[in-house]
Amino acid sequence: MALSTTTLRFCASHSPLLNAAPVNHDAAVDDASLPDRCDGIGFDAITPDENGTYFFFRGSHLWKGFQGPAQLSNESFQQLDDIGHVDAAFRMHNITHNDHMYFFVDDKVFSYYGHALEKGYPKDIQQDFPGVPSHLDAAVECPKGECMADSVLFFKGHDVHVYDIATMTVKTKTWSHLPVCTSALRWLEHYYCFHGNNFTRFHPVLGQVSGGVYPKDARDYFMKCPNHGHGGHHTFLNCSDIKIDAITTDDAGKSYVFAGTNYMRLDTRREGHHDFPITRSWKEVTNGVDAVFSYSDNMYLIKDDQVYIYNAAAQYILIEGYPKTLKEELGIEGHVDAAFVCPNDDTVYIIIGGTIRAIDLSATPRVVAREWLLPFSDIDAAECNAEGINVFKGAMYYHYESPMTLATSRIAPEPHHLNTAMMGCKK
């Protein structure tokens, strides 16, 4: 089970990708003395570890992952025996403090690495985080790009203390419009304030409530509970059943795969593979895509004869004047099967049927510079990265060293099967 602000719809019978596997609800535990998060008791703190496993804390217990019964906190984190509770927690994921986990209790901070308490801890909070108050309500990391600098948001009442990791300085804001957060979570670049058994999504810089109607019941998204849920029973698809429509990586290193009317991030494996409607990020593209490519901080989405260009640096805002026709934007016509741009290159390669066409994106007007015949047709998608080019056809892909190798090859290379590492599917 995984958190989402939308209903997940990559069902095995309707979609070529995957969804969360069905789980047994947490009430089905042998020890009736253990707390049950299905009772709506809320959480004191939430944090992932270095492997991306999420821990939900309540009193002296925790839940490991999105399913399963409670266990004592000291079974996963020794030296938490006598604490009884955790006020706040977060994982710091940067070069200086790579994957350290911090737990805050009253006026103390505990630092764990690999689930082991580091030497010299616990310390006073002021020793590691000067200017941050004691008796916190919640904490969550906010990396540069999502916040102005690599930061940690510390919550106490309606005040948010924004701690700059590099300068070790604090700026305090008051977000009275948000509920008092008892825990907080960053998940797939979105931020959630938990209050009781509910949660509210917020903007980490402005504090604005965004992304739908809130609050929502955490039991509908974080666990499988009787009389709760936000979707049907979903299963991981076999790799042999996957068929994608497009794949691309933007200039910030975010990788996306598209299938039907949904998309999935591929570079967030530690937070799990989760799918969302394309309209969640590219709201004007309502009926799927034929091809997608990234170039110069922009993402180009092609559907039928229309080209939509979004500014990736501005959280995928549609550029004014778009969509435009393929003829206007790229100087071509026809049904586009796949498209890709290689790193540090100005050429987009467009695959239409059994042909591949090279177009210089730095030229005005844009026209086809060269065209070649391919050794096969009916291509679903293609991508180019530092290792070369992958051309996808059904549940198989073909690897080429360069665009010219692909364009001039007369015989298709040995096909490879899509695998778990690439798509998160089952073997």
pLDDT tens digits, one per residue of 321-355? 999 999 999 999 999 999 999 999 999 999 999 99
pLDDT tens-digit readout, 291-318: 999 999 999 999 999 999 999 877 789 9
Higher per-residue confidence, 422 vs 138: 138
Q: Once rounded to an integer, what is the mean pLDDT over residues 49-58? A: 89
**Residue 38 in this model has a pLDDT that exceeds 80:** yes
**Residue 24 in this model has a pLDDT that exceeds 60:** no
pLDDT tens-digit readout, 211-251: 778 999 988 887 777 777 654 344 456 788 888 999 999 88
Q: What is the per-residue pLDDT for 229?
A: 67
Q: What is the per-residue pLDDT for 40?
A: 85
**Alpha-carbon gap, residue 108 to 105, rounded angstroms:** 5
Instruction: Assess if CATH 3.40.50.300 describes domain 239-423.
Output: no
Q: Once rounded to an integer, what is the mean pLDDT over residues 20-34? A: 50
Higher per-residue confidence, 398 vs 66: 398
- Comparing 96-105, 129-138, 233-242, 335-344, the range with the smallest average pLDDT is 233-242
**Alpha-carbon gap, residue 40 to 298, rounded angstroms:** 43
Please indicate, yes or no, whether the overall pTM of this predicted structure exceeds 0.85: no
Q: Once rounded to an integer, what is the mean pLDDT over residues 408-421? A: 84
Give domain 45-220's CATH number out of 3.90.45.10, 3.30.930.10, 2.110.10.10, 3.50.50.60. Answer: 2.110.10.10
Q: What is the per-residue pLDDT for 81?
A: 65
Average pLDDT of the chain is: 86
* Tokens 């494996």 sit on residue: 269
pLDDT tens-digit readout, 61-84: 999 888 788 999 888 887 776 667
Higher per-residue confidence, 332 vs 265: 332
Edge-first strand order for the sheet with 183-187 is: 183-187, 190-195, 198-202, 216-217
Residue intervals of the chain classified under CATH 2.110.10.10 are 45-220, 239-423
Q: What is the per-residue pLDDT for 4?
A: 33
103, 114 in Cβ contact below 8 A? no
Q: What is the per-residue pLDDT for 268?
A: 67
